[in-house]
Structure 1
């Protein structure tokens, strides 16, 4: 069995397209025993929040954490 690799990334005010491209790139790797942990540091960014929830619905390897406020 292959060891699990965790990829951690944070988001704040990046364009939605960049975040989606980054996450999809990670999920599309040939090594599939991974988890992608995304920390949303701007819960007021509705576009990012909606995207993250949509991606998570389609792939259980995605773990989301939403900070209540920006923590820098």
Structure 2
């Protein structure tokens, strides 16, 4: 039986924005600047793979402000 793994699911900018607590407009700005999570562009639509969102969130999670400042 075939199962859909969450890592293979892609989210629209609206749903990805909800997950990240950001607006789709912010995601667009990040895409334009080349920052933020990786995305797919398919026939003029943008999609965010859940695996990429998780990876981006993990890379941008800090235990303290001092840790954040060292990473900058």
Question: Could you say which TM-score interval applies, normalised by the shorter chain?
Answer: under 0.3
Given the two structures, how large is their TM-score scaled by the length of structure 2? 0.26
Larger relative helix fraction: 2
Given the two structures, how large is their TM-score scaled by the length of structure 1? 0.26
Greater Rg over alpha carbons, structure: 2
